[in-house]
Amino acid sequence: MNHSSQNKFCFVFTLLVILMLPNFSIGQHYFRLRADFTIKEKFSDGKMSLTMGSVLYDRSYRKLVYHVTFPSKEDWVIMDTVFNRIVDKKLVARQFVPMLPSSTIFEFALQNNLDNFGLEKSSYTLSKIDRDGDMVLTTWLPDKRLQKAIGKIIVSKRAGKLVGVAFYTPKNELVKKQIFKGYLKSSGVEFPAEILEILYKVGGKETKISTFKNLRINEMNDDALYNFPVPAK
Amino acid sequence: MKKALFTALLALAFNLGFAAESADLFKVDDQEINTEFAQLNELEQFVNANEGITLEEINPSNPLVQNVNNSSDILGILSTLRGDAPLGIPSFVWGLCLSWVGVLVVYFVADDRDETKKAFTGCAVNAGLYIIWIVVYVVIIGNSFLFFG
C-alpha cells in the first residue's frame, strides 16, 4: 500500500469512527425499567398492609404501570398527573395525583441520577457537605422564596451510592426519611433492592418497606404491558 | 490573654451553632424492624407459596391476615417515589392557588392534618383576596365610573 492510499484509508477509517460514535452513545440510553415489588406497611393505628406485583416504567410512553397481584388483582396506570385504577379491564377509578412519572426514582435510576435523588435538576440548591466516616451528607435547601413553606433535604451517600434521604419542615422537624439498601444492577442501571421509609406523623410513626427484585432494563418484549391501555370510563 | 480566650470561646460557640450532620440520622435497628414486620413477612411468604392467591381468598380467621387492610394504601405507595410536598409545591400554595380543590389534593395526597391545615389557610387567604378584589372592583372602581360618568 503506497503513502497516498494509506492516507485515504486513515481518513475513511476516522470518518467511519466519528459517524459511529452516536450509535455507541445510544447504547447507553436507558428508557425502560421493570421490577417485581413487595410493599409492607405498618400504620400508627396498628393496621398493616401488604401489596405485591410488578412495576413498569417507560420514559417514552411517560407511563408508570403497576400490575398488582395482592391484595387483589388490579392495574394502576399513572400518567400526566392522572391515576387510573383498572380492575378486570374496566376503569373503576380515576383521580388527579400531583405526581409525574418523570419525577420518580424510576426516572432518576434510568438517568443514573439516583445518587442525589434527582435534586441536582430540581429547584433545591446544595448548601452544605459533611463527612461522617465513610458517609457523605449533603444538605439541600429549597428556593429562597419557598423556605418558609418547605424545609431542607439531607442526602447521604456511601461510595457514591445513595444511602438515605431525610425530609424536614421549615422548622427543622424531621417528617420522613428513606433508607436505600442492597442495590440491584441490570444493564448498567442500579436500583435499590429495598427502600425503608419512616414517616413521623402527629399520631405516631409509620413504617414502610418496599422491596424490589428481578430488575429488567430496556426489555423489548411485552411492549403492551409498558404502554398499558386505559379503558374509557 | 483574656481577649484571646474570649475570641476562642466565641469561635467555638459559632462552630457549635453550625453542627455537622451525622450519619446516625440514617441508622436503623434492623432487628427491631424485622420484629415489627414479622407477621407481614410471613404473609408475604404465604402469598409467594400460593401463587395467584388474593387476600379475599385467604380465610379471615388466618392469623396472618389479622389487622391487614383489604386494600392498598395507593397514595402512600406513590408518595414513596417522589419528594415531600406534592410536586414540590407547598401545601399553603395548593390552597392559595386552587382553593378548595387544592385542600382536597393535599388532604388525600399528604394524608396529614398539619399539611391539610396549611392548605386550608391558603384557601382562606384566597377567599379573603377574592373579597378584597370584589370590594375594590365593584365598590371603588364601580362608583368611580358613576362619578366620572
Q: Which residues of A25-47 are buried (b: 16+ CB within 10 A; e: fewer)?
A: eeeeebebbbbbbbbbbbbeeee
**pLDDT of A233 strictly over 80:** no
**pLDDT of A57 strictly over 50:** yes
- pLDDT tens per residue, range B50-61: 999 999 999 999
Nearest to B20 among A105, A130, A207 (CB): A130
Could you list the beta-strand ranges (E) of A59-110.
63-70, 74-79, 82-87, 90-96
Kindly give, in sequence order, each residue whose CB lies less than 8 Å from that of residue A200, ignoring residues fewer than 6 positions away: A173, A174, A175, A176
A131 or B9, which is more confident?
A: A131
For CA atoms B58, B60, B66, B71, give the dihedral sign. positive
Nearest to A146 among B69, B74, B90 (CB): B90
- pLDDT tens per residue, range B15-40: 444 567 788 899 989 999 999 999 99
Give the minimum alpha-carbon distance from A117 to chain B in angstroms, rounded to a whole number: 9
A120 or A58, which is more confident?
A: A58
pTM score over 0.80 = no
**pLDDT of A228 strictly over 80:** yes
The overall average pLDDT reported for chain A is 88
Contact B80 A195 (CB under 8 A): yes
pLDDT of residue B98: 67
Mean pLDDT of A6-23: 64
**pLDDT of B113 strictly over 60:** no
Joined grid coordinates for residue A71: 391484595
A17 or A190, which is more confident?
A: A190
Give the minimum alpha-carbon distance from B140 to chain A in angstroms, rounded to a whole number: 32
**Which residue does chain A place closest to B41, by CA atoms?**
A40
**pLDDT of B149 strictly over 50:** no
- pLDDT tens per residue, range A94-132: 998 877 788 888 998 998 888 888 787 778 899 999 999
**Which residue does chain A place closest to B67, by CA atoms?**
A47
Joined grid coordinates for residue A65: 404501570
pLDDT of residue A22: 47
CA atoms within 13 A on the CB side of A216: 16
- pLDDT tens per residue, range A153-197: 999 999 989 999 999 999 999 999 999 999 999 999 999 999 999
Determine the residue among B18, B26, B37 to mutate to test chain A binding: the one whose Cβ has the most chain A Cβ atoms within 10 Å.
B26
Rg (CA), chain A: 22
B20 or B145, which is more confident?
A: B20
Supply the DSSP symbol for A149: T
- pLDDT tens per residue, range A69-84: 999 999 999 998 899 9
Nearest to A150 among B80, B84, B108 (CB): B84
Q: Which residue shows C-alpha cell 417507560?
A: A58
For residue A49, give the nearest of B84, B85, B75 by alpha carbon.
B75
- pLDDT tens per residue, range B60-112: 999 999 999 988 888 888 888 764 444 445 556 567 766 776 677 566 555 55
Nearest to A150 among B22, B56, B85 (CB): B85
Interface pTM, i.e. ipTM:
0.82
pLDDT of residue B128: 84
Give the minimum alpha-carbon distance from A27 to chain B in angstroms, rounded to a whole number: 27
pLDDT of residue B93: 58
Mean pLDDT of A12-26: 57
For residue A232, give the nearest of A138, A126, A92, A106 by alpha carbon.
A92
**pLDDT of A204 strictly over 80:** yes
Mean pLDDT of B119-126: 76
